[in-house]
Amino acid sequence: MSGGGTAGRAASLVVSDLHVAYGGVEAVRGVSLEVPAGSLVTLIGANGAGKSTTLAALSGLVRARGQILLDGTEISRWRSSRRVAEGLVQVPEGREVLATLTVEDNLRLGAWHQRDHLAAGLDGVFARFPILAERRELSAGSLSGGEQQMLAIARALLARPRVLLMDEPSMGLAPQIVDQVFAVIDAIRHEGTTVLLVEQNAHRALSAADTAYVMETGEIVMEGPAGELLANPRVVEAYLGELSA
């Protein structure tokens, strides 16, 4: 499947000793993680562990201390718009499509710095997501939850990511739709885009990822090959119990 024109442009992301505080409270406390180019890495953990805050810091949406290397270049002082332009692109939690705009206008917004590639990019995402092509003139707010998630992913792909940050893409979706979302994630990474996936659905995330990090109260408490964590009794007990469906 082609789409978004992302193949072959993967970058690595290396994060060292990242700290984020809200007021006096540290929500992220010395997080270090490595996302090799072309890999799928997942960050799992309970509600409130600091996963979304970590992604927001990587995107430049919250102020952070620490080092962030995008393909070896230190970007932690860059504005978020520059990070996007250089290929670090986030699919936000809760999808955040613009409900009153059409599907196509939402997609055009994703390509604000890629005007030369817009037509080809739109063709690519419409080929990948035929449902969005069918609904291109409809308001994004009229789409189902799953369709809105596909739109949010498609919009991010139009920004031609080298590293795609995804914040709980399966949240609130029916299991069948979750399957579709994970199939898309798998396709994106196999086309050569690096993916850092934040998920509360630990079973699905660990099944899809190469490497995993577990976060608790602002810190990384475990890391390793995703398959090993999937079989680790501590992970099973804490994160895979009843949620493993």
Listed in sequence order, the residues at least 6 apart from 214 whose beta carbon sits closer than 8 Å to its beta carbon are 44, 45, 220, 221, 222, 223, 229, 235, 239
27 scored as a contact of ligand ATP (CB under 6 A): yes
17 CB burial (10 A radius; 0-12, 13-18, 19+) = exposed
Could you tell me how far CA 157 lies from the centroid of its own chain? 11
**Which residue from 3, 5, 45, 161 is in contact with ligand ATP, where contact means CB under 6 A?**
45
48 scored as a contact of ligand ATP (CB under 6 A): yes
Smallest gap from Cβ 167 to ligand ATP, in A, equals 7
52 scored as a contact of ligand ATP (CB under 6 A): yes
CB 42 within 8 A of CB 205: yes
User: Tokens 């979302």 belong to which residue?
Assistant: 181
Phi-psi region of 218 (alpha: psi -120 to 50; beta: other; left: phi over 0): left
**Of residues 6 and 42, the one with the C-beta less far from ligand ATP:** 42
CB 195 within 8 A of CB 189: yes
50 scored as a contact of ligand ATP (CB under 6 A): yes
**Of residues 191 and 199, the one with the C-beta less far from ligand ATP:** 199
H-run or E-run covering 69: strand 65-70
49 scored as a contact of ligand ATP (CB under 6 A): yes
Which residues ranging from 199 to 218 are in contact with ligand ATP (CB under 6 A)? 200
* Region near ligand ATP per CB under 6 A, out of 31-39, 41-49, 99-107, 156-164: 41-49
Smallest gap from Cβ 229 to ligand ATP, in A, equals 17
- Tell me phi and psi for residue 146, to 5 degrees: -65, -40
53 scored as a contact of ligand ATP (CB under 6 A): yes
64 scored as a contact of ligand ATP (CB under 6 A): no
Report the interface residues with ligand ATP, using CB under 6 A: 22, 27, 45, 47-53, 200
